[in-house]
């Protein structure tokens, strides 16, 4: 994704999947596609290694984050996540105040 110019918001989602997480990959792809259509969505970056993952989604403001969290299809996915897919997760909502980079993405 392109560089963003602060200020903006980041939702840092760290997680560990259970050993059996059937249906997770499809649901995650669907949720990512749906998130892209939401007002105030700026992008997402995901890294996975084994059962662990970090997804950082970027948003214009906290209203956009709240709306996405409360979206009906996303609510169902969150419930499946807790019941079937995740061993644990941790979500942090953060206001990005400054950024800098090096090299070519």
Contact set with a copy of itself (CB under 8 A): 3, 6, 10, 12, 14, 45, 47-49, 52-54, 56, 62, 81-82, 86-105
Nearer to a copy of itself by Cβ, of 4 and 35: the residue is 4
Q: Give the residues across from 15 on adjacent strands.
A: 53, 89
Nearer to a copy of itself by Cβ, of 3 and 37: the residue is 3
Q: How far is the CB of 66 from a copy of itself (least distance, A)?
A: 11
Tell me the C-alpha distance between 3 and 21, whole Å.
Answer: 33
Nearer to a copy of itself by Cβ, of 34 and 56: the residue is 56
88 phi and psi angles, rounded to 5 deg: -155, 160
DSSP 3-32: PPPSSEEEEEEEEEE-S--TTHHHHHHHHH
Nearer to a copy of itself by Cβ, of 40 and 53: the residue is 53
Q: How far is the CB of 87 from a copy of itself (least distance, A)?
A: 6
Compute the residue count for the chain: 105
């Amino acid at each position: 994704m392109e560089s963003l110019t602060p200020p903006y918001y980041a939702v840092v989602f760290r997680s560990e999947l259970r050993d059996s997480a059937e249906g997770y990959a499809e649901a995650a792809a669907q949720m990512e596609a749906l998130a892209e259509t939401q007002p105030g969505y700026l992008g997402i970056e995901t890294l996975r290694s084994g059962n662990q993952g970090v997804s950082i989604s970027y948003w214009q403001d906290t209203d956009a984050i709240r709306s996405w969290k409360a979206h009906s299809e996303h609510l169902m996915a969150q419930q499946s996540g807790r019941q079937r897919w995740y061993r644990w997760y941790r979500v942090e909502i953060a206001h990005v105040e400054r950024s800098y980079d090096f090299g070519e993405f």
